[in-house]
Amino acid sequence: SAAEKGGYDYFMLKEIAEQPRAVADTLLGRIDAAGSLSLDEVRITASELREMDKVVIVACGTAFHAGLIAKYAIEHWTRIPCEVELASEFRYRDPILDPRTLVVAISQSGETMDTLMALRHAREQGAKVLAICNTNGSTIPRESDAVLYTHAGPEVAVASTKAFLTQLVACYLVALYLGQVRGTKWGDEIQAVVRDLSHIAGAVEEVLGTMEPVRDLARTLADKDTVLFLGRHVGYPVALEGALKLKELAYMHAEGFAAGELKHGPIALIEEDLPVVVVVPSPRGRSVLHDKVVSNIQEIRARGARTIVIAEEGDEAVVPYADHLVRIPVTPTLLQPLVATVPLQVFACELATARGNEVDQPRNLAKSVTVE
């Protein structure tokens, strides 16, 4: 009913709007007054976590994209090797697991069969499993050694939005907590990131307030067949997520690429007026990557692409090459996906509406996939 949708036309719009609160709620009570993480609820002891020599993340779909982003954070902040694998592929290739492997299973519903089978396999091999889950008491957390719940609240729309942002927050918390208990040399940086995380809900709110031009743009693209998404570093999984949203909702051909791969093949796809969404890394810090992505934008535009550029406020280098420019607030590099994903969700939702599609219940899809 309209009341359930809180005045929005679709649950997806309501859930997109709820993201600042969902992010804040997922942090709530997990950062103490001194700015340290307290994750006592995670029933794997600090000494067990100190013993871990590998992290393996398993998940499907959007949750898998959260895992891809988590890898950058986990390896950077903890120096523990981290692999990310589609849950449906995992157990079929005889993965190497032992009691020093921490398997992180990410699932909004907690009922995804592929993810459940992957974690069962991991536990049979003696690995410890930590679930990141949005549904209290669901099967995946019940069968795991430990759980860190995301506090997105119920997600009704089939296309995952607020659950994704909270999965990212939970992944950052796990990464920072691992760093904290293991006392990595990034100690100071970890404190700073914890502070930045506590401001991120406000940044998401800021993005939500500037989405009208993104909606206008989406409506003009309703008759296109293909949209490409490019990103680099943590922007690469964001590009994959933008493409998945567009497939699910708009039933358009959409693909995400790592920007550095363009020259190895995908650039052949560029033709006159093809919309290409580019997620630009921050010009601060890893500026080498920023400059490379700006060159990519130049290259594709020279070949006729219509460039839709998602770039940080104050990034002036992109201006000459952006047919459409979407600004996002300045965030630390690793946290950028929390703000960069939002315009892609809005874009896909609006394109779906413009194409007359059912936003909350896309064809052929179910909210939780309980078959393998």
The residues annotated with a catalytic role in the active site are 367
- Of 103-111, 187-195, 229-237, 297-305, the window that binds ligand AGP (rule: CB under 6 A) is 103-111
The answer to whether 139 contacts ligand AGP (rule: CB under 6 A) is no
Query: What's the maximum distance between 2 C-alpha atoms anywhere in the chain?
Result: 57
Residue facing ligand AGP at closest CB distance = 61
Task: Identify residue 171 by its one-letter amino acid code.
Answer: C
The answer to whether 352 contacts ligand AGP (rule: CB under 6 A) is no
**Which of the 8 DSSP states describes residue 226?**
E
Report the distance separating Cα 135 and Cα 193, nearest Å: 27
The answer to whether 60 contacts ligand AGP (rule: CB under 6 A) is yes
Cβ closest to ligand AGP, residue 115 vs residue 353: 115
Minimum CB–partner distance for residue 359 and ligand AGP (Å): 12
- Of 26-34, 101-109, 118-126, 291-299, the window that binds ligand AGP (rule: CB under 6 A) is 101-109
Buried b (16+ CB within 10 A) or exposed e, 139-172: bbbebbbbbbbbbbeebebbbbbbbbbbbbbbbb
Residue 256, classed as helix, strand or coil, is strand
Half-sphere CA count of 287, side-chain side, radius 13 A: 6
Minimum CB–partner distance for residue 303 and ligand AGP (Å): 31
Long-range contacts, stretch 210-218, CB < 8 angstroms, 24+ apart? 210/326, 210/327, 211/342, 211/343, 211/346, 213/324, 213/326, 214/326, 214/343, 214/346, 214/347, 214/350, 215/346, 215/350, 217/308, 217/324, 217/347, 218/346, 218/347, 218/348, 218/350, 218/351, 218/354
Q: Which of 78, 112, 333, 336 binds ligand AGP (CB under 6 A)?
A: 112
Q: Which of 63, 178, 238, 240 binds ligand AGP (CB under 6 A)?
A: 63
- Going by their DSSP bridges, the two strands 101-107 and 146-149 should be labelled as unpaired
The answer to whether 150 contacts ligand AGP (rule: CB under 6 A) is no
Beta bridge pairs of residue 147: 131
Minimum CB–partner distance for residue 137 and ligand AGP (Å): 14
The answer to whether 138 contacts ligand AGP (rule: CB under 6 A) is no
**Which of the 8 DSSP states describes residue 10?**
S
Minimum CB–partner distance for residue 237 and ligand AGP (Å): 13
Minimum CB–partner distance for residue 123 and ligand AGP (Å): 17
- Of 69-77, 154-162, 229-237, 326-334, the window that binds ligand AGP (rule: CB under 6 A) is 154-162
Size of the site for ligand AGP (CB under 6 A): 15
Q: Which of 19, 26, 62, 296 binds ligand AGP (CB under 6 A)?
A: 62
Report the distance separating Cα 166 and Cα 180, nearest Å: 20
Cβ closest to ligand AGP, residue 158 vs residue 175: 158
The answer to whether 144 contacts ligand AGP (rule: CB under 6 A) is no
Task: Identify residue 116 by its one-letter amino acid code.
Answer: L
Report the distance separating Cα 195 and Cα 46, nearest Å: 22
Residue 37, classed as helix, strand or coil, is strand
Q: Which of 88, 101, 108, 166 binds ligand AGP (CB under 6 A)?
A: 108
The answer to whether 158 contacts ligand AGP (rule: CB under 6 A) is yes
217-276 residues in contact with ligand AGP (CB under 6 A) are: 248
What are the φ/ψ torsions at residue 170 (nearest 5 degrees)?
A: -60, -40
Minimum CB–partner distance for residue 167 and ligand AGP (Å): 8
Other C-beta atoms closer than 10 Å to the C-beta of 268 total: 9
Minimum CB–partner distance for residue 175 and ligand AGP (Å): 19
Minimum CB–partner distance for residue 112 and ligand AGP (Å): 3
- Of 8-16, 54-62, 92-100, 327-335, the window that binds ligand AGP (rule: CB under 6 A) is 54-62
The answer to whether 61 contacts ligand AGP (rule: CB under 6 A) is yes
Angstrom distances, CA of residue 313 to CA of 65, 230, 327 = 25, 19, 6
| 275 closest CA partner among 342, 354, 347, 349 | 347
The answer to whether 368 contacts ligand AGP (rule: CB under 6 A) is yes
Residues within the interface to ligand AGP (CB under 6 A): 60-63, 107-109, 112, 115, 158-160, 248, 368-369
